[in-house]
Structure 1
Amino acid sequence: MSFSESFRLQIIVFAVVAASFTNIYLTQPVLPVLQAEFSVDMVQASLSVSAVIMGIALFNLPFGLLVDRITIQPIILMGGFAVAAGGIVCAITDNLNLLIASRFVQGAFIPALTTCIAAYLAKTLPPERLNIVMGSYVSATVVGGLGGRLLGGFIHPPLHWRYAFVSAAVLILVSSIIAYKGLPKQTEESSRKRSNISYWQLLKQWQFFRLFLCAMGSFAVFSSVFNYLPFRLVADPFNFSTGAITSLYLAYIMGIFMGPISGRISNRLGSGSTLIAGSVILASGLAMISLPSIVAIVCGLILVCMGFFGVHAAAIGALNRKLSSGQGRANALYVLFYYVGGSLGIMASGLAYEYGGWGQVMILCGSLVLIPLVVGYFEKHSDTTAKA
């Protein structure tokens, strides 16, 4: 594959992944607005986010099987149309239950555009480039996540959050059609090659399972912080507007740089050291956002983003470097654990917030940081053994 072909592939993949993630977090900065508009509590309003995450979690495995068996083009086209249709329903409905159900449908088809793309990259790219390209893939998730939050709470006025769904639907539809036409074609034979490993075989291997746990624990922390911080900031002593809260999500930009940087650090120092460093940075960020100071919260959010995306890029890069078969299945399991962790983290932190306030949320998140930290220790030991 020439440089121009490789660059074109990365641009297409970046656009599809970014557009996919734009749809996931559209309602996060306007959760207090949804709470008031539909007259529900914060946990019910948060279902507009956690329903998407649960849909992604449940449908990753079927799509992981599918991408190991057929070419990627029809999968992407199907996923793009389904996610766009779900977004249009969300934009026009006045029924919260229908909105939540449509968000679940969106989540169910997002793996067609994310998990399948990751597997496609793992099968297509040479090993020496995979770490860095997976870092760029993570950067695309950052751009999409930030874009969704800005669409939902800043670009469109908060009370017109419905327009954000229309904008996101157009983005995913256009990018999916471009990917369908522009991605290099695979033959049926090449799409099936190296796919003889089962989900159970992957789960039984500690070298893979620990990275799945790392995804679960780190995303549980990250999703909890960004999902419930708006509720803390609209209350005393901050009394932030929705626009002010949304602007804090600009800290997310750190992830755009941390993805590729983490890939390069992993190439140089090993994935274990990168995971440990990312976990320490993440824990430091949690400590700062626990303080009753907006300056500390801003700095803490930057550190949380740096730490989380450093961990995420190192973990997914390490996973795909270790694989010699079943890239679709392995990436499906990774994303399954990732989003199950996010969904459970949101639910557990919601209960912690209701019964113990922000302090209890931070205690829960601080405990969960131990997971990527311990995984980093094992990965570092594995890196050292491999070098020896």
Structure 2
Amino acid sequence: RAAFAIGFLILFVFIGIYSYVNFVLVRAPFDVGMMMLGMVYFVFLPSIVTTPLAGRVVARLGTRPSLWLAFAVAAAGLPMLLGSNLDLLLVGLALFGVGTFFAQATATGFVGRAATADRGSASGLYLTSYYLGGLIGTAILGQVFDHLGWTACVIAVGVALAAGMLLTLRLTIQPASADQMPGLMQPSSKTA
């Protein structure tokens, strides 16, 4: 269940930043035009490079430290989103993207490993939670942005990232029963 909540929070924060940063970018001091606004999404390029590394990092560090690292990288980008320097804001968006993409890959992999039976259902529940987080993130963080502004939206995202970090403490992999893994003896529960 903690993995589903983490998935919820990953798209919640992702949508909260990338949906509403556009409104910030088209206003002063940035005044980014529509054509350039589309180019802003090149900040996802580092994520394309780093996301495939998630499996190796998890194999080396474990799920929990990998998620902490991912959330920390995403959080490191948040203060950069609050200034008036476009280059710094783009670096912040890139860091945030790297962190959230990496967290998504890590959490998805965890669900696949943690499900001892009916992996398809576990994956489906994870994806449902993930997309529900995006839907609710759009609604809630949109209201925060409309009524309290960009800074409050970024702070709310930071709080959600912190909640994700705390939820990692609840991630465990239960041992498979003997009938699920014939011939293998499993120790008691293993932490992520």
State if a TM-score over 0.5 links the two structures.
Answer: yes
**Does 2:170 correspond to 1:370?**
no
What CA distance in whole angstroms lies between the structure 1 residues aligned with 2:160 and 2:127?
A: 18
Tell me how many residue pairs correspond in the alignment.
Answer: 177
Asked if the contact 1:273/1:380 (under 8 Å) is kept, the reply is no
The structure whose Rg is larger is 1
Asked if the contact 1:223/1:345 (under 8 Å) is kept, the reply is yes
What CA distance in whole angstroms lies between the structure 2 residues aligned with 1:271 and 1:277?
A: 10
**AA matched with 1:285:** G
The one-character-per-residue Cα deviations of 1:144-203 (angstroms, maximum 9, x if unpaired) are xxxxxxxxxxxxxxxxxxxxxxxxxxxxxxxxxxxxxxxxxxxxxxxxxxxxxxxxxxxx
Tell me which of 34, 40, 43 is aligned to 1:248: 40
Structure 1 moving runs of 4+ over 3 Å: 377-382
Tell me which of 122, 129, 134 is aligned to 1:342: 134
Asked if the contact 2:81/2:92 (under 8 Å) is kept, the reply is yes
- Do the aligned partners of residues 380 and 331 (structure 1) sit closer, same or farther apart at CA in structure 2, a change above 3 Å counting? closer
Correspondence for 1:220: 12
What CA distance in whole angstroms lies between the structure 2 residues aligned with 1:377 and 1:291?
A: 33
Correspondence for 1:323: 115
Asked if the contact 2:114/2:172 (under 8 Å) is kept, the reply is no
Correspondence for 1:165: none
For 1:213-292, what aligned pairs fall within 5 Å after superposition?
A: 213-292=5-84
What CA distance in whole angstroms lies between the structure 2 residues aligned with 1:359 and 1:328?
A: 39
For 1:184-223, what aligned pairs fall within 5 Å after superposition?
A: 209-223=1-15
Asked if the contact 1:224/1:346 (under 8 Å) is kept, the reply is yes
The percent of aligned pairs where both chains have the same amino acid is 25
What CA distance in whole angstroms lies between the structure 1 residues aligned with 2:67 and 2:169?
A: 8
Asked if the contact 1:213/1:371 (under 8 Å) is kept, the reply is no
Question: Which structure: greater helix fraction?
Answer: 1
What CA distance in whole angstroms lies between the structure 1 residues aligned with 2:173 and 2:115?
A: 19
The one-character-per-residue Cα deviations of 1:288-314 (angstroms, maximum 9, x if unpaired) are 112221111111011001110111111
Correspondence for 2:105: 313
TM-score between both structures, scaled by the size of structure 1:
0.44
What CA distance in whole angstroms lies between the structure 1 residues aligned with 2:8 and 2:2?
A: 10
Instruction: Report deviation, 1:381.
Output: 10
Compute the RMSD of aligned alpha carbons. Answer: 1.8
Instruction: Report deviation, 1:370.
Output: 1.4
Correspondence for 1:386: 190
**AA matched with 2:110:** A
What CA distance in whole angstroms lies between the structure 1 residues aligned with 2:40 and 2:172?
A: 34
**Structure 2 spans left out of the alignment, 5+ residues:** 175-188
Instruction: Report deviation, 1:224.
Output: 1.0
Compare relative contact order (CA 8 Å, sep 6+) and give the higher one, 1 or 2. Answer: 2
**AA matched with 2:113:** R
Q: Name the SS of the counterpart of 2:32 in structure 1.
A: coil
Instruction: Report deviation, 1:364.
Output: 1.1
Asked if the contact 1:276/1:377 (under 8 Å) is kept, the reply is no
Asked if the contact 1:221/1:365 (under 8 Å) is kept, the reply is yes
